[in-house]
Chains A and B, each alone.
Chain A
Amino acid sequence: MSRGGVTGKSARGGGAEAWKIRGWISQGSYWALAAVGLAVPLAAWTLLSVLGTVNKVFLPAPYDVVHRVAVWFSDGDLLSDVRISFFRVVAGWALSALIAMPLGLLIGTFRVVQALLEPLTDFIRYMPAVAFVPLVMLWVGIDESAKVGIIFIGTFFQMVLMVAEDVRRVPMAQIEAAQTMGATRSEVIEQVIIPSAKPALLDTLRITMGWAWTYLVVAELVAANSGLGYAIIKAQRFLQTDKIFAGIILIGALGLAMDQCFRWVHRTAFPWAQARN
């Protein structure tokens, strides 16, 4: 065991530095390893389907899935499916953000509101969103609002608690400093608590957006006739495994793309939060 790697940031992937606890690797090695991590399962998948050891019904070949996406696209359904699913996810998520943000701010700022609402929210968030499907159908019907409603239920209660926690994490010294400079209560909230919590709030929005995508299939169980989730459910009925794969991968890719957008906004909007690195 050489100790040389501890001081010099060597770019060699197998160096002592790379395996140090919370060690360092170069940008290049990071992306190379990421590519390997993605390529190995893909190669295994291709190999399994080429060898024909697994029935195509259970495991369609990668090129079958790609072919299915192409057909789906040329039939003209794919874009409208993506569009409607995108709309449902964003609408349900935005609606819960619209209510969860002010509510979480109040819970995280005032102990009275916290005592009043937090135990209730904690209780409801353990109820399974899927089980609300029949109730939502009963309450808001079976049109678009039902799908948005399911995604709302799936994300809202978690989001309230996360926003409240983000607000509570604002250091007390920041708040008290403003008070000793003569800031009023509303000025402290507007000019200290909200700007201080902003990066954490954006992270909360990013994470809950991910959850909203995972509730899409559940939401489109309710009398849908379009959307990615609906396409998966329909494909299940006809045992079109390749289409199920295509739908799942598309949802994953869309979610990942949105996640990267949020990360980009975080980097550009809050340069000061990156300054530490």
Chain B
Amino acid sequence: MGPSDRVSLGAGAKLSMANIIRCHSVCKTFGAGRKQIVALDNVSLEVAEGEFVTVVGASGCGKSTLLRMVAGLETLTSGEIEAAGGLVRGPGAERAMVFQSYSLYPWLTVMGNIKFPRQLFVHRRDSTSSDVECASGRADALLHVMGLSSVEFAYPAQLSGGMQQRVAIARALMTRPRILLMDEPFGALDAQTREVMHDLILHVCALEGCSVVFVTHDVEEAIYLGRRVVLMAPRPGRIQSIHEVPLPPEREQEMKHAPEFLRLKSEILACIRETSGLRTDLELLQKLSRRASR
């Protein structure tokens, strides 16, 4: 237990007590031999209890892989991850996850989906009737908070993408997870729906008091939601920089026009452009258009 001892020493001791997720020099490689790809190279990250952290970066930077490792869905090549007080060895109910899409159960109604995690425990031995009552009270509360009361008995296929993701979030929160992991949950939604979802998720997570790691490729989304923005870079996947968001914790849509918001946005975008390796060859473009006009 060498590394963890070192972390809890000195000034960091008090802070690390409140950290709910700790990734210690996490590495991940896919494949072997010449085809080997380094997805994550020595990534260390800490998330404080109750914090909302967003992870952003160009495609292939390993942001989803990192999230899936915290969820326990992906194994580590080396390093270790501690979450909610224990080493991560596999998926667990204290680390709920919201996926980009297709994770709802189409054979269950909205209510059936939200109650699914509780259904698991009902099937298991010693659950009393008061447990079941308590669970349905929680399911009702989530249904209302997420604005789903009118579609309680609808099937997922009858809902819009935005409503489906509301159900997915409600279901993830059902077990009162201490950590909520979100993997580009609004990536498939239109811009207007996404704005509504942003305010909803901020509100609900503050209400629930859970810590959130939110992965996205949308820089504006990352800044608006996160108290800290973790910027990752590809080849090999690594943390490029971590930015404190200079906005008050209570976010409002108008803040997107604040100068500090815009400054951070252009700073991060420039960083991504630099590290993504995808640069537009302006000279070549000019040469081509000149030839075409001749």
B-contacting 9-mer, from A20-28, A143-151, A169-177: A169-177
- Are B103 and A171 in contact, with the CB atoms below 8 A? yes
Q: Per-position contact with B for A177-198: 1 when CB-CB < 8 Å, else 0? A: 1111111000100011001101
Choose from B99, B108, B120, B174 the contact partner of A173 (Cβ within 8 Å). B99
Range class of the B interface residue count:
35 or more
- Are B116 and A272 in contact, with the CB atoms below 8 A? no
Choose from A180, A181, A272 the contact partner of B157 (Cβ within 8 Å). A272
Closest residue of chain B to A173 (Cβ to Cβ) is: B103
- Are B93 and A182 in contact, with the CB atoms below 8 A? yes
Neighbouring B residues of A198 by C-beta, 8 Å:
107
* With A187-B123, A191-B119, A272-B157 as contacts: A180 and B105 at CB distance below 8 Å: no
| Any B CB within 8 A of the CB of A6 | no
Q: Which of B168-214 contact A (CB under 8 A)?
A: 168, 171-172, 174-175, 181
Neighbouring B residues of A272 by C-beta, 8 Å:
106-108, 155-157
| Any B CB within 8 A of the CB of A63 | no
- Are B107 and A180 in contact, with the CB atoms below 8 A? no
Q: Which of B94-116 contact A (CB under 8 A)?
A: 95-97, 99-108, 116
Provide the bound-state CA to CA distance between A180 and B171, in Å: 11
Choose from A191, A270, A275 the contact partner of B120 (Cβ within 8 Å). A191
Closest residue of chain B to A195 (Cβ to Cβ) is: B107
- Are A181 and B93 in contact, with the CB atoms below 8 A? yes
- Are B103 and A174 in contact, with the CB atoms below 8 A? yes
| Any B CB within 8 A of the CB of A276 | yes
- Are B103 and A182 in contact, with the CB atoms below 8 A? no
Choose from B73, B108, B171 the contact partner of A176 (Cβ within 8 Å). B73
Neighbouring A residues of B100 by C-beta, 8 Å:
173
Determine how close the nearest CB of chain B comes to the CB of A31; give it in whole angstroms.
27
Closest residue of chain B to A179 (Cβ to Cβ) is: B91
* With A180-B71, A275-B157 as contacts: A195 and B92 at CB distance below 8 Å: no
Choose from B102, B104, B120, B171 the contact partner of A182 (Cβ within 8 Å). B120
| Any A CB within 8 A of the CB of B161 | no
- Are B95 and A180 in contact, with the CB atoms below 8 A? yes
- Are B102 and A173 in contact, with the CB atoms below 8 A? yes
Determine how close the nearest CB of chain A comes to the CB of B182; give it in whole angstroms.
11
| Any B CB within 8 A of the CB of A273 | yes
Neighbouring A residues of B168 by C-beta, 8 Å:
177
| Any A CB within 8 A of the CB of B117 | yes
* With A176-B73, A181-B175, A183-B120 as contacts: A192 and B105 at CB distance below 8 Å: yes
| Any A CB within 8 A of the CB of B78 | no
- Are A180 and B102 in contact, with the CB atoms below 8 A? no
Provide the bound-state CA to CA distance between A190 and B174, in Å: 20
Range class of the A interface residue count:
20 to 34
Q: Per-position contact with B for A216-247: 1 when CB-CB < 8 Å, else 0? A: 00000000000000000000000000000000
Q: Which of B58-114 contact A (CB under 8 A)?
A: 71-73, 90-93, 95-97, 99-108
Determine how close the nearest CB of chain B comes to the CB of A246; give it in whole angstroms.
43
Q: Per-position contact with A for B117-135: 1 when CB-CB < 8 Å, else 0? A: 1011001000000000000
| Any A CB within 8 A of the CB of B241 | no
Q: Per-position contact with B for A253-277: 1 when CB-CB < 8 Å, else 0? A: 0000000000000000011110110
Neighbouring A residues of B175 by C-beta, 8 Å:
181-182
Closest residue of chain A to B117 (Cβ to Cβ) is: A181
| Any A CB within 8 A of the CB of B158 | yes
- Are B123 and A174 in contact, with the CB atoms below 8 A? no
- Are A181 and B106 in contact, with the CB atoms below 8 A? no
Provide the bound-state CA to CA distance between A270 and B104, in Å: 16
Neighbouring A residues of B181 by C-beta, 8 Å:
180
Neighbouring B residues of A195 by C-beta, 8 Å:
105, 107
- Are A180 and B158 in contact, with the CB atoms below 8 A? no
Provide the bound-state CA to CA distance between A195 and B107, in Å: 7
- Are A177 and B155 in contact, with the CB atoms below 8 A? no
Closest residue of chain B to A273 (Cβ to Cβ) is: B106
- Are A180 and B106 in contact, with the CB atoms below 8 A? no
Q: Per-position contact with A for B126-164: 1 when CB-CB < 8 Å, else 0? A: 000000000000000000000000000001111000000
Provide the bound-state CA to CA distance between A270 and B107, in Å: 7
Closest residue of chain B to A174 (Cβ to Cβ) is: B103
- Are A181 and B120 in contact, with the CB atoms below 8 A? yes
- Are A275 and B155 in contact, with the CB atoms below 8 A? yes
Provide the bound-state CA to CA distance between A273 and B108, in Å: 11
Neighbouring A residues of B120 by C-beta, 8 Å:
178, 181-183, 187, 191
Closest residue of chain B to A190 (Cβ to Cβ) is: B123
- Are B73 and A180 in contact, with the CB atoms below 8 A? yes
Closest residue of chain A to B112 (Cβ to Cβ) is: A272
- Are A174 and B96 in contact, with the CB atoms below 8 A? no
The 3 closest A-B pairs by CB, nearest first: A182-B93, A173-B103, A179-B91
5 A-B pairs besides A179-B90, A180-B92, A181-B174 with CB distance below 8 A are A180-B172, A196-B105, A198-B107, A272-B107, A275-B155
Which residues of B line the A interface, CB within 8 A?
Answer: 71-73, 90-93, 95-97, 99-108, 116-117, 119-120, 123, 155-158, 168, 171-172, 174-175, 181
Could you name 20 residue pairs across A and B whose Cβ atoms are closer than 8 Å?
A173-B100, A174-B103, A174-B104, A174-B105, A176-B91, A178-B120, A179-B72, A179-B90, A180-B73, A180-B91, A180-B172, A181-B96, A181-B175, A187-B123, A191-B116, A192-B105, A196-B106, A271-B155, A272-B156, A275-B106
